[in-house]
Amino acid sequence: MSKMQLIVKGLIKENPTFSLLLGMCPTLATTTSAVNGMSMGLATLFVLVLSNMAISAIASYIPDKVRIPAYIVVIATFVTILQFLMQAFTPAIYETLGLFIPLIVVNCIVLGRAEAFANKNTVADSALDGIGIGLGFTCSLTVLGLVREILGAGSVFGFKFISGDGILAFVLAPGAFLALAYLIVIFRKLTEKKA
């Protein structure tokens, strides 16, 4: 597989949100606006790249039976580092995402990539895989956040284009499910023709 393919596959063929349906909990909860969705995506991207690299580097020294606890410790370390950094330098975003930052530890995308890719591939390939999957996740979350923000609040990235409120339900939980479902339908329809 070429280096380029490693990145591109995360965007379409193995897109974590629309194709693999992984990481649904943060997807539904944090996409109340495009900015929130994008920040969550980028936070996950950061953890994904670093943990993929670290795990692929140490995988051959880890006995098989304790690999999951070892991976979780590595992932949790990077998540905590991210948490410290966000708290220090981007307190506003840290507050909006709140609980969902520590929950990246148990995000199945991160552990899934460690198990399925990083422990059998080189450090460089694992980094590219992390970037690809992370970008796929970021794009999906931004699109979902954008759709919910346009419909629910009548704004794009915080800039209002209509006065008054949108369809309130789209900012709340039910709208997350509805918007996600329709986006998956559209995504599947578009990618089906190519295959």
Partner 1 sequence: MAMESSFKNMVACLLVICLVCSALLAGVYAITAEPIAQAAIAKTNAAIAEVVPSFDGEPVSGEVEVNGKSYSYYSVSKDGKVIAYAINASSVGFGGSLNLMVGITAERIVYNTSVLSQSETPGLGAKCTEESFAGQFAGFNPAEKNLAVKKDGGDIDAITASTITSRAYIEAVKNALAAYDAIVSTIE
159 binds partner 1 (CB under 8 A): no
Q: How far is the CB of 70 from partner 1 (least distance, A)?
A: 5
Q: Does 61 bind partner 1 (CB under 8 A)?
A: yes
Residues 108-127 binding partner 1 (CB under 8 A) are none
The CB-of-80 to partner 1 minimum distance in angstroms stands at 6
CB 143, CB 40: distance < 8 Å = no
Measured between its terminal Cα atoms, the distance across the chain in Å is: 18
Sequence letter at residue 172: L
Closest separation in Å from C-beta 142 to partner 1: 19
Residues 184, 44: Cα–Cα separation, whole Å: 20
**Which residues in 19-36 are b (16+ Cβ under 10 Å) and which e?**
bbebbeebbbbbbbbbbb
Q: Mask: binding to partner 1, 18-37, rule CB under 8 A, as x and -?
A: --------------x-----
The one among 4, 25, 68, 85 contacting partner 1 by CB under 8 A = 85
d(CA 20, CA 25): 14
Q: Does 106 bind partner 1 (CB under 8 A)?
A: no
User: Is 64 one of the binding residues for partner 1 (CB under 8 A)?
Assistant: yes
Q: Alpha-carbon distance 82 to 88, whole Å?
A: 10
In this chain, which of 69, 156, 160, 177 binds partner 1, going by CB under 8 A? Answer: 69
CA-CA distance, 176 to 184, in Å (whole number)?
Answer: 12
Site residues for partner 1 per CB under 8 A: 32, 58-67, 69-70, 73-74, 76-77, 80-81, 84-85, 87-89, 91, 95, 152-153, 165, 168, 171-172
